[in-house]
Amino acid sequence: MTRSENMFEEAKKIMPGGVNSPVRAYQAVHRSPLFIDHAKGSKIVDVDGKEYIDYVCSWGPGILGHADDRVIKAVQDACAKGLTFGAPTEKETILAEMVQEIMPSMEMMRLVNSGTEAVMSAIRVARGYTGRDKIVKFRGCYHGHSDGLLVKAGSGALTQAVPDSLGVPADYTKNTLVAEYNDINSVKQLFEQYGKEIATVVVEPVAANMGVVPPKPGFLEELREITQQYGALLIFDEVITGFRLSLGGAQEYYGITPDLTTLGKIIGGGMPMAAYGGRREIMEKVAPLGGVYQAGTLSGNPIATTAGITTLRILKENADHIYPQIADATRQLADAARNTFGDSVQVNQVGSLMSVFFTKEPVVDYNSATSADTEAYAAYFNAMLQQGIYLAPSQFESMFVSAVHSKEDLARTIEAMHNCR
């Protein structure tokens, strides 16, 4: 057995499935996971000493690559002053002001510790501000593991949601309505039936948790119009797209201004960090100013804020170079996948996000995404892994490209793709 295999056996004795997040168990690709020892730049190295070109990038935060010297030095210096104080620090304000400058729609914000916490809190604020209970989400979009969002559509295409996890009472999801991503008519029908009860529509502006599915032209614009028409709020879940599609995220990329935004991953620079925020009049409902309660022991801690400040500063200073570079690199990989596999795959790419779907059907929503051949993807994943290319161990996750993936990395990856034919 390899050291990774031995470590996995030990981990399974003490943690459910041997992991702290289900996708890490590699069940969808029929093998045991790699245990990682260290990483630098575009490479990760497992405990058996094998090096891989990494296109998971810790599921998105690693836009600068692993262990960027500038971020590491700043974090080390911050650690020497103390890890957490449970009291305000100037760094919280500095980071929030940086975010506000980059994303002007976030006039006021609150720092939290995870994307799940950010979306859960944003929805609570939306309900508190509007005085309404129902929310609309989209089938196939993931917004964290809070009870009211772990839902799936019932027997009808348009229905109140039913729980998608054991342990979630039906009462928790009775106010969650499920629409179809990229189908504005499904949204209109929900508003026609429940319009005065709907507090908010929450959406990944680019769906990235059923694989990468970009919005159809006009879809986001129509969401903005219909929410304004009915007095509901529009929440952009930019946990993945924030600071990745462009410096200003999907809202800058597509030119749509939401009422509230949730951020995660890149904002923490590799540390646990997230944020939610938006229009001042809405965020003033949050305690201690208003009656919407939310708190967190480690929220805005000085280590995570240091990593976030340093990462955003680097991205801001180099935005004109980084974003075209990573989009072009991802485009090269997307073209290579199309050339290699032909019409047996659909390749969706937006900026530095990309998915290869093993289906002949264009992937535009949940149904078409789940038409993909997951066994074919598993074979592809394992063939690439054998050649030193580390992809997401699931058909329904994104491939992430960083600013430090080199021409040599891309050439090796494209060659490995060709070898999978």
Distances (CA, A) of 231 to 41, 127, 198, 228, 268: 46, 12, 9, 5, 33
The token pair that represents 119 in the structure block = 């979306």
Whole-number pLDDT of residue 161: 60
The DSSP element (H or E) to which 297 belongs, if any, is: none
Q: Which of 142, 194, 253, 276 is catalytic?
A: 142
The predicted-structure confidence for 15-65, as pLDDT tens digits, reads as follows 999 999 999 999 999 999 999 999 999 999 999 999 999 999 999 999 999
pLDDT at 157: 34
Asked which of 83-87, 172-176, 289-293 is least confident by mean pLDDT, the reply is: 172-176
Active site residue 265: yes
Q: How confident is the model at residue 156 (pLDDT cuts 50, 70, 90)?
A: very low
Q: Given 46, 68, 183, 237, which residue is catalytic?
A: 237
Which residue is associated with the tokens 């793709």?
417
Q: Residue 50 in contact with residue 253, Cβ under 8 Å? A: no
Let me know the angle formed at the C-alpha of 95 by 91 and 98, rounded to the nearest 5 degrees: 140
Q: Are 219 and 180 in contact (CB under 8 A)?
A: no
In the predicted model, is pLDDT for residue 181 greater than 50? yes
What pLDDT does 166 receive?
Answer: 85
Chain-centre distance of CA 35, in angstroms? 22
- Which position has the higher pLDDT, 163 or 199? 199
Please answer whether residues 208 and 398 qualify as being in contact, where contact means their C-beta atoms are separated by less than 8 angstroms.
Answer: yes
Structural domains of the chain ordered from first start: 3-55+319-419 (3.90.1150.10), 69-317 (3.40.640.10)
Tell me the per-residue pLDDT of 296-328, one tens digit each, with 9 for 90 and over.
Answer: 999 999 999 999 999 999 999 999 999 999 999
**Distance of alpha carbon 108 from alpha carbon 283, whole angstroms:** 6
- 158 pLDDT higher than 80: no
The catalytic residue among 43, 91, 137, 265 is: 265
Q: Given a cut of 80, is residue 155 above it in pLDDT? A: no
In DSSP notation, 82-126 reads -S--SS--HHHHHHHHHHHHH-TT-SEEEEES-HHHHHHHHHHHH
